[in-house]
Amino acid sequence: MELLGQKLSEFFQKVPHSNVTVERIDLRNGFILRLSASHVEGHVELLRCDPASVWSFAYEPLRNVFVENDTLVGLAGFEDIRFGQEKQFVVSAKPSQGSFIVVLRGSNRLGLLRDFYRSLNVHVGFRFRVPKSLINAEELDQKPDQQTFVLLKDPSENTLRHLLKKEIRVAVKVEDERDLEHLYRIGVRCFVLKDFRDEHRQRYPQACFILEKGGLATALGRVDGLMMNIGPLSLEEIVLASLTNRLLTLYTAEKYSKLLDVLGFGAVGWRRKTNFVFTTIRQEQEGVYEIRYVNEFNEPARVRVDTMTGVTDWFDGSKVSRLEKKTLKRDDGRYFHFYTEGGC
């Protein structure tokens, strides 16, 4: 595997790169390279490898990690990532304001993947706003919870102002900068867009941006969410892709699936009815994962997913007597939660 035109092993010996100026952050089991946009004109060849010897996601939008033997190379925050696939697998992209290549060594694939996202989280400090669900306006039957955004297509300004006045969190698909600027000014804070530019962050500091189309290598570190068609993904790709969900919510318009909810995927177009949180993923054996979460009854639960056979076994906690909650909003806007014995 070649990284920025050099053998990967040379980077472990701190060899500076001749063509691209990079800032290097050393980690316990690898390093992070930060590529600065000011030093780079156009596309840069990032990675060149033999497809036969490298594991990566089969689905192109997920292709931001490459593993050969005990080494992982992960990409985040690049603009316009391109793949060439002839005798060699070539990845090129244009660095943006925060573009990172993470190189890690470790023994298992799940551990390496987790370390890759952890490194971005801890050492690069990726922090995002995370609207959990996007429901369509026509499905709005009651005031949505605080995590849900109501997704509107071509709303009239009156509709928008009306919903915002009712404190409903609104998300709007935008096509151009003029719409974005106007909608932000009247109070919209969540935007679904095809073209994101780094300067949007400075111009609209309170906004959350969801990229309508793109790949993880582009979206990570730049936007807050990514729309994803998970139809072509294998079950293992779905499980592994969910590791990104603490850095960037992956939105899918697939119909309700408990597994997607447990894995923390953002929903588009349906109301999230459950409250699954705290997912941890452990690999039991090759292709078999155990996912731990807290179920809708606030009890610890788990699901075992065999990605080879597609079999999922659910192990829910026992249903015992629990507390009932009644929430009141006082005149001064404060929430009061009253708990009494009862429930199912």
Partner 1 sequence: MLELRYNPLTDEWIIVSAETQKRPVQPSQQSCPICVGGVELPEEYDLVTFENRFPALKRNPPEVSAESEIFQKKPSFGVCEVVVYTSNHDVALPGMPLKQIEKLIEMWVDRTIELFSHDFVEYVFIFENRGKEVGASLSHPHGQIYAFPFLPKRIEAKIEAFSKWHSTRGSCPICDVVRQEIELRERVVFETDSFVSLVPFYARFPFEVHIYPKRHVTSLPELTVEERKELAKHLKIITAKYDALYQQEFPYMMMFFQAPLKRLDAELFHLHVEFNPPKRDRDKIKWMASVETGTWAFINPMIPEQAAEMLRRAEVSEL
Contact 3, 93 (CB under 8 A): no
Name the minimum Å distance from CB 305 to partner 1: 17
**Which residue stretch of 72-80, 97-105, 227-235, 327-335 sits at the interface with partner 1 (rule: CB under 8 A)?**
327-335
**Which residue stretch of 179-187, 233-241, 255-263, 317-325 sits at the interface with partner 1 (rule: CB under 8 A)?**
317-325
- Of the residues 15, 58, 122, 311, which one makes contact with partner 1 according to CB under 8 A: 122
Can you tell me which residue has the tokens 């979460």? Answer: 293
147 binds partner 1 (CB under 8 A): yes
Q: CA 192 to CA 149: how far, in whole Å?
A: 11
Contact 96, 223 (CB under 8 A): no
- Of the residues 15, 58, 186, 277, which one makes contact with partner 1 according to CB under 8 A: 277
Which alpha helices (H) appear in the chain, and where do they start and end? 8-12, 109-119, 157-165, 177-186, 199-203, 216-219, 235-241, 258-262
130 binds partner 1 (CB under 8 A): yes
108 binds partner 1 (CB under 8 A): no
- Of the residues 129, 162, 194, 203, which one makes contact with partner 1 according to CB under 8 A: 129
109 binds partner 1 (CB under 8 A): no
Residues 6+ apart with CB under 8 A from 220: 64, 76, 77, 120, 126, 244, 247, 248
Name the minimum Å distance from CB 176 to partner 1: 26
Single-letter amino acid code for the residue at 49: C
Angle of helix 177-186 relative to helix 157-165, nearest 10 degrees, comes to 40
Q: CA 273 to CA 295: how far, in whole Å?
A: 11
Chain residues 226-265 in contact with partner 1, contact rule CB under 8 A: 243, 246-247
220 binds partner 1 (CB under 8 A): no
142 binds partner 1 (CB under 8 A): no
Give percent helix, percent strand, percent coil of the chain, each to the nearest 5.
20, 40, 40
Name the minimum Å distance from CB 88 to partner 1: 32
**Which residue stretch of 13-21, 63-71, 72-80, 320-328 sits at the interface with partner 1 (rule: CB under 8 A)?**
320-328
Residue 185, helix vs strand vs coil: helix
Q: Give 40 or 223: the residue with its C-beta nearer to partner 1.
A: 223
Single-letter amino acid code for the residue at 206: Q
- Of the residues 185, 320, 331, 344, which one makes contact with partner 1 according to CB under 8 A: 320
21 binds partner 1 (CB under 8 A): no
Q: Give 148 or 307: the residue with its C-beta nearer to partner 1.
A: 148
Chain residues 161-200 in contact with partner 1, contact rule CB under 8 A: none
114 binds partner 1 (CB under 8 A): yes
Q: CA 260 to CA 31: how far, in whole Å?
A: 32
298 binds partner 1 (CB under 8 A): yes
Q: CA 143 to CA 198: how far, in whole Å?
A: 33
Enter the tokens of residue 328: 């009141």
Q: CA 128 to CA 14: how far, in whole Å?
A: 31
Reported in sequence order, the residue ranges of 106-165 that DSSP labels E, i.e. its strands, are: 133-136, 148-152
- Of the residues 132, 171, 223, 252, which one makes contact with partner 1 according to CB under 8 A: 132
Query: Pick from 128, 123, 37, 117: which is nearest to 80 by CA?
Result: 37
19 binds partner 1 (CB under 8 A): no
DSSP string, 253-288: -PPP-HHHHHTTPEEESS------EEEEEEEEETTE
Enter the tokens of residue 104: 């890690």
Name the minimum Å distance from CB 340 to partner 1: 5
308 binds partner 1 (CB under 8 A): no
Point out which residues bind partner 1 (CB under 8 A). 28-29, 114, 117-118, 121-122, 127, 129-132, 146-147, 243, 246-247, 275, 277-278, 280, 292, 294, 298-300, 317-318, 320, 322-323, 325, 332-341
